[in-house]
Amino acid sequence: MSVPQPDADLRVIIRARLGAIMRNPTREPNVTCEVCAVPVERQYSRCYRCHQDLLNARVPVAQRVVPLTYAVYGEQSNSDMHRYKDPMPDLQRSRNASFQRVLLLVLGFALNHAECIDHVTGMPVTRLVTVPSLRGRPGRHPLALVSEALPLHWKRVDLQAVPGVPEDRRRTINPDHFLLPAPQEVRGQHVVILEDTWVQGGHAQSAAASVLRAGAAEVTVVAIARRIRLDSQRSTVEKHLHQILQGAEYNIEICPVTGGPCP
């Protein structure tokens, strides 16, 4: 595959704005989960949650998750994933540093790695669904604004949150948490599910389950950030990942789909 090189100016901007803050997710067998890229014990290929989700035959879920960065507890990357969606007018948001960094991260992915999903799956992405909040947030969610940076040929499909889902059930995977007003739009299509932060994956996988139930042929979750905790360093694997990330600048040329070179 011939991969277009990032525009020189964009590369400089990304390095200046994201280099010391964002962290490229690591794709290393028996070090990070092959699905969501969280640290795992060396004898496992997946984390416990992803393993259980994929074993649950009653609820189909996405088997491919593409996190664009780690959001590390206690670091600016994690703070950004909270602060970019603070309540504020759109004009103020456009000047918000956290929002600008999140938007730049997604734009860099769109321009340089969105096509990598097509090459890995062998089926071009044709639809885009943005995961809505289950908390009943009024107005347009900032994630919808960020999604405008993604390829225009990914046709936008509306997904709505079902009101009244109890807070203690929101992290469980249930396709009924969301409503797809036009299911025919995803039938037979390769759908990208855009989520802002992956913690356990319940929201994104519920959305994926809803889309798959409607007949989508392929589903890929693009999570802007995979939240991880490294401050405790409870295991050898966490220590190893901490060593990998320590001092490493975010690099736009590392493919988030493969964790290395573009396919």
Average of pLDDT values for 17-23? Answer: 96
Query: What digits encode the pLDDT tens for the residues 129-171?
Result: 999 988 777 778 999 999 999 999 999 999 999 998 888 888 8
H-type alpha helices, the chain? 8-18, 48-55, 76-83, 90-94, 97-112, 114-121, 142-146, 202-213, 236-245
What global pTM score does this model have?
Answer: 0.93
Asked if 216 and 189 count as a contact pair (C-beta separation under 8 A), the reply is yes
Model confidence at 87, in pLDDT bands (50, 70, 90)? very high
Tell me: domain 57-231, CATH 3.30.70, correct?
no
Q: Which residues contact 203 (CB under 8 A, 6 or more apart)?
A: 131, 134, 170, 171, 177, 195
Distance CA 175, CA 144 (A): 20
| Position with higher pLDDT, 148 vs 7 | 148
* Phi and psi angles of residue 221, each rounded to the nearest 5 degrees, phi first: -95, 125
pLDDT of 244 > 90? The answer is: no
Looking at residue 233, its pLDDT comes to 57
Question: Strands across the sheet with 127-130, in order?
Answer: 64-72, 218-228, 190-198, 127-130, 155-156
In sequence order, what are the residues at sequence separation of 6 or more whose Cβ sits closer than 8 angstroms to the Cβ of residue 28?
A: 244, 259
Give the domain ranges of the chain: 57-231
pLDDT band, very low/low/confident/very high, at 232 (cuts 50, 70, 90): low
Question: pLDDT category, 2, cuts 50, 70, 90?
Answer: very low
Q: Is the pLDDT of residue 5 over 90?
A: no
140: Cα separation from own chain's centroid = 19
Tokens 């469980």 -> residue: 172
Mean pLDDT, rounded, for 107-116: 96
Residue type, 90: D
Per-residue pLDDT, 3: 40
Q: Which of 71, 70, 60 minimizes the C-alpha distance to 205?
A: 60
User: In the prediction, which pLDDT does 6 show?
Assistant: 52
Structure tokens at 200: 């356990």
